[in-house]
Chain A
Amino acid sequence: MNEDRCIKCGSCTRACPVLNDPLGPGFPGPRGAGVDAPRFPERDSIGQIALMCTMCHACEWACPSGISLTLSMLRLRSGLNEADRLPGHRRMMDNIASCGRTVSTEFKGWREEGNRTLYFPGCIGLGRLTHLTEAASSLLTALGVSHDISSAAVCCGSPLLKIGATGVAEDLRRRNMEVFSRYDRVITSCPGCTNQLREVYGIRAEHMVEVLKGSDPRSKLDGRWALQVPCHLKRGLSPWAADDMASVLVAAGVDVVRVPGEDCCCGGGGGMLAGFPETSSSIARNKVQMYRSTGVDGIITACPFCSLNLGRQGIRVLDIGEALAPKR
């Protein structure tokens, strides 16, 4: 670990979306939690402050010393005691136990036709935002990608790592690998899933943006649209994929308005949406206010968590799959 490189310049604290939110009190910031707290011999666990981070990597990008702050936070989380678990995170674990996903599943359109490609929508796309999944699926079909949506696939485990439930995540990986072994290609809509599949499962999953990049889709979307560039796409998966997200939309004919701060966190990541819903929606509210001031008609994103969290603030939010889906 490289926390010992810290020179206390405070760049991370200035970049942190939680610390800079009026409803983020109690969080000592990336440096306080990730660098300073673990140095003390008095504590083996620093308690719930380890959970007050959206894992957006903004601190890591701002750090002139190159400290792996997100890894540091993840490590703190894996050392949490059961007593530190937040009610929202308990619910996630209960849902995992009952249906294998962090939210209860509403999706009905399973496709188990023996195709060689698996579309893996993720827990939010199967539970809360089924329209996102349906649109992405029809877009894939329109692009000639025949695919399955398997009811046997479960949560990728990424949200569980983020709430410190490492053991459960490993169990889910084993279940998923059995499903994945029947396919040549896995496509996801959630950059959190994509990362997990690549980094932890070791399979070359593709995010929807990466699929769209080579396939030249067209959009019939009217109005002016701002982007919510997902943290886990840009700073997690690949900064080039984030560049592609914009260029795919522009090439498809969408009127895209680039606004400063489009790549700042929506507040929905890292288990915050379930763990600290007030802070999470406060960050989203402030972000949406910023978008509204630019006069756009809505926001296009590429992450179900962003869609869900920003969408709750009453602004139109489309996933990139929805923005480019053929009109029904």
Chain B
Amino acid sequence: MSRVLVIGNGAAGLFSSWLLARKGQEVVLVGRGTPSTSMSTGCIRTRPEGCEREMAEFLVNEHMPWAVGARAGLSKIGTPFRCWMAPSHSTWKYGEAPGSVTVVSIEGHPAIHVRIASSLLIAQGIRAEHLSLPIAVPPEVPLTAAFRSEGSWELLAKALRTTSSDAVLLPAMVPLREYGRLDALERQCGRKVLEAVTPLGPPGLRLTELMHARAAGAGVTIWDGRRVTALDIKGDTVRGATVSGGSEVKEVATDAAVIATGGPLVDGLNIKGRELDDPFGVFQVARSTDALRGGYASREGMMVRVDGRRMANAVAAGDCVYSERRDHGSGLAGALDSARMAVMALEGA
């Protein structure tokens, strides 16, 4: 058994840690803050090429069932959203769109935009109905907070009885452990309950919690709130890292490293002016015509040093890997798939 240091606790870091731990490696996962996939919609947009089975296994959870296959749903402004794998209430089977939808909103709260959504539903041939709940929630307060009380859920169920459409479109507002409420609501109101597809909100937070629990359950040592400030590299081998957290600094030894610090959005790679730059000052950063598509260069799966030498035990995963193919929408599948490839490359090494 050897020790692998995974740097970055986003989707790619959590998935690669889990894959490695499952294979019996001792994994230490270091991330700067709380684990986060909260920019995500929680849906897998494109069909992951090689890791569908592992991914399904990874995401299986008692709290949140997943639907797999060609799926379609609605964003919180009513535009269509297509994906491959989604929490069961986010989408319907492609081609089985509801004929009419009740859009549920809280007046003035940006969790869902009902007039925009209704107008865009009608444009897609879906009949739209509007239900405004008589609850006041300030726009900066997440709806999750208001829907922690039983009263709000009862109010919602009661209000839904007065509507007649095929499906209900709710703002995203349930945390992982409460996901079962959507099933209960579906039973109570006798029709499909859909959660609007939303970036930057509860779906991403649920996914984070789920991935975090899976990684921890597989025995990964999770060092959140800590940051790798330097790597100890001898020749082509990462031998350790300096990790700082709070007012403490520790040196850790490692046999291999997975770098999954994310793209510029999460500050994994520095941006100087318009150029990406390796915060460790060690690795080659490949630049694309669009600076932000760049990332760590690799050769045969392993990272490459600035002096051109191929690393023997370091791989990159997720958004910080250089890829011409990466584009918005393929984020999660791409990140997970690249994590799997990184782990495979590491095993080969």
Taking the complex as a whole, does A directly touch B, i.e. does some CB pair lie under 8 Å apart? yes
- Digitize B126-151: 1 where CB-to-A-CB distance is under 8 Å, 0 elsewhere: 00000000000010111011101100
User: A227-242 interface mask toward B, CB cutoff 8 Å, 1 = contact, 0 = none?
Assistant: 0000000111111110
A237-B246, A260-B213 are contacts. A64–B265 as well, Cβ < 8 Å? yes
Cβ of B17 within 8 Å of any chain A Cβ, yes or no, is: no
Give A198-240 as 1s and 0s: 1 = Cβ < 8 Å from B's Cβ atoms. Answer: 1100000000000000000000000000000000001111111
Interface membership of B73, Cβ < 8 A: no
B266 within 8 A of A: yes
Contact B246 A22 (CB under 8 A): no
Please, what's the 1-or-0 string for B253-269, where 1 marks a CB less than 8 Å from any CB in chain A? 00000000000011100
Main secondary structure of the interface of B (DSSP, over half): loop
Docked complex Cα distance between A24 and B146 (Å): 11
| Docked-complex contact A11 and B36, CB < 8 angstroms | yes
Give complex CA distance A10, B201 in Å: 8
Check if B32 is an interface residue, CB within 8 A of chain A.
yes
Give how many B residues have a beta carbon under 8 Å from the other chain's beta carbons.
Answer: 33
Residue of B nearest to A32 (CB): B140
- Chain B nearest CB, measured from A198 CB (Å): 6
Taking residues whose C-beta sits less than 8 angstroms from the other chain, chain A's interface range is: 35 or more
Residues of B within 8 A of A239 (CB): 223-226, 245-246
A contact residues around B36 at 8 Å (CB): 11, 62, 64
Contact B201 A14 (CB under 8 A): yes
Query: Which residue of A is nearest B141, CB measured?
Result: A19
Complex Cα gap A10–B202 (Å):
11
Q: A61-B224, A234-B225 are in contact. Are A22 and B149 (CB under 8 A)?
A: yes
Q: How far is the CA of A11 from the CA of B200 in the complex (A)?
A: 7
When the two chains form the complex, which single residue of B34, B201, B246, B266 contacts A58, counting CB atoms closer than 8 Å?
B34
Could you say which residues of chain A place their CB within 8 Å of the CB of B200?
Answer: 9-11
- Nearest opposing residue in chain A for B34, CB measure: A61
Task: Write out the residue numbers on chain A whose beta carbons fall within 8 Å of the beta carbon of B39.
Answer: 9, 64
Whether the pair B266, A15 counts as a contact (CB closer than 8 A) is: no
Q: Are B213 and A198 in contact (CB under 8 A)?
A: no
Which residues of chain B are near A243, meaning CB under 8 Å?
223
Q: How far is the CA of A60 from the CA of B36 in the complex (A)?
A: 13
In B230-269, the 8 Å CB interface with A consists of 245-248, 250, 265-267
Chain B, 155-188, CB within 8 A of any chain A CB = 177
* Min CB–CB distance B8 → chain A (angstroms): 12
- Interface membership of A167, Cβ < 8 A: no
Q: Are A240 and B247 touching (Cβ within 8 A)?
A: no
Q: A19-B140, A62-B33, A238-B246 are in contact. Are A286 and B225 (CB under 8 A)?
A: no
B196 at the interface (CB under 8 A from A): no
Taking CB atoms and an 8 Å cut-off, the chain A residues in 290-306 that contact chain B are: none
Inter-subunit contact B247/A237 (CB<8 Å) = yes
Contact A62 B38 (CB under 8 A): yes
Task: Determine if A87 is an interface residue (Cβ-Cβ < 8 Å).
Answer: no
When chains A and B are docked, how far (Å) is the Cα of A64 from the Cα of B266?
Answer: 5
Within 8 A of A (CB), among B23-76: 32-34, 36, 38-39
**Distance in Å from the Cβ of B7 to the closest Cβ of chain A?**
15
In the assembled complex, which residues on chain B have CB atoms less than 8 Å from the CB atom of A236?
Answer: 246
Question: Is the CB of A3 closer than 8 A to any CB of chain B?
Answer: no
A14-B38, A260-B213 known; A64-B225 Cβ under 8 A: no
Decide yes or no: A20 and B245 within 8 Å by CB, A63-B33, A234-B225 being known contacts.
no
Residues from chain A with a CB closer than 8 A to the CB of B225 are 61, 234-235, 239
Interface centre among A9, A65, A195, A198 (most CB of B within 10 A): A9
B236 → A minimal CB distance (Å): 30
Contact between chains at B146 and A22 (CB < 8 Å): yes
Q: A198: which B residues are within 8 A, CB to CB?
A: 247
Nearest Cβ in chain B — how far from A135, in angstroms? 26
Can you spell out 7 A-B residue pairs with CB atoms less than 8 angstroms apart? A13-B141, A19-B141, A22-B148, A58-B34, A61-B34, A61-B224, A66-B32
Partner-B contacts on A (CB < 8 A): 7, 9-11, 13-15, 19-22, 24-25, 28-29, 32, 58, 60-66, 195, 198-199, 234-241, 243, 260, 286
Closest 9 CB pairs of A and B: A238-B246, A61-B33, A239-B225, A20-B145, A239-B245, A64-B266, A238-B248, A61-B34, A29-B140
Given contacts A237-B246, A239-B226, 14 further A-B contacts (CB under 8 A): A9-B39, A9-B200, A19-B145, A20-B141, A21-B145, A25-B141, A29-B141, A62-B38, A238-B245, A238-B246, A240-B226, A240-B250, A260-B213, A286-B148
